[in-house]
Amino acid sequence: MLIAVDIGNSSINIGYFTKTSLIVQHFDTIPLKNATEYRRIICKFMSQNHLEKNIFNVIISSVVLSHTSVLKQTFKDLIGKEKKKIMIISHKMNTGLRFNIHNPEKLGTDRIAAAVGACEIYEPPVAVLNFGTATTITIVDKHRNYIGGSIMPGVGLMNESLDMGTSRLKKISLRPPSSALGTDTTDCISSGLFYGTAGAAERILDEIEKQTGSKFKIIITGGHGTAMDKFIKRHHKLDPDLTLKGLKIIYEKN
């Protein structure tokens, strides 16, 4: 079994790849726990899903440096004396991609994993729309060159900023609106968050396609990906576990 760990700003997602299935565990990134507590949470989930008797290797992607060493230690403790590998991904590994960008060492490893998953599963040229804490667009051309993308605040961050930055607009429950035309303050905020984010993402894609002269297959993923799915008008695929699948592919390549 392979365990793929995606440590994001809002949630930690762990994919357990057995011979026949993928089982996914989610829990909040904040607050940071110690290795003993993470081990308890993971062992309980593995026991509930009858995974505890499997021998496993581990691959980790992290954009939260404070958590990386703690989760690595957690899995070292779980592996014990077994000589199994814990892999931390970076742009220097064999990913099947070439990074045609400035400072690839600063690129979020979750974006690398999602790009690899999109290329291997759906074939390039691809655009990955990851609706998470941030809304990111990742572009890989037909030659598997990672050529760049875009970053903007995610719907959750925008929701929080309205609450913090205004006196009368309060944080709302993140439920997709039934209409773009809001009839009260809550509906108006919801419309702005969901339709606004979708419109911004599609406008950015329009401009990238003009600049590159390419048309991209669009893959949607991320914690808010399922909620955003119906707001993207362009033809696309929804793959909530794309990053975890990409981690598995990177592990196999290395």
Find where tokens 């419309």 sit.
Answer: 191
Express the helix, strand and coil content of the chain in percent, nearest 5 each. Answer: 40, 25, 35
What is the rounded CA–CA span in Å between residue 253 and residue 246?
A: 11
Give, for 205, the enclosing helix (H) or strand (E).
helix 185-212
How are beta strands 126-131 and 237-238 bridged, if at all?
unpaired
Its sign, for the CA torsion 192, 194, 197, 202, is negative
Q: Is 241 a catalytic residue?
A: no
Q: Residue 254's closest CA among 28, 74, 59, 22?
A: 59
The active-site residue, picked from 110, 141, 163, 239, is: 110
Q: Please identify every residue annotated as catalytic.
A: 110
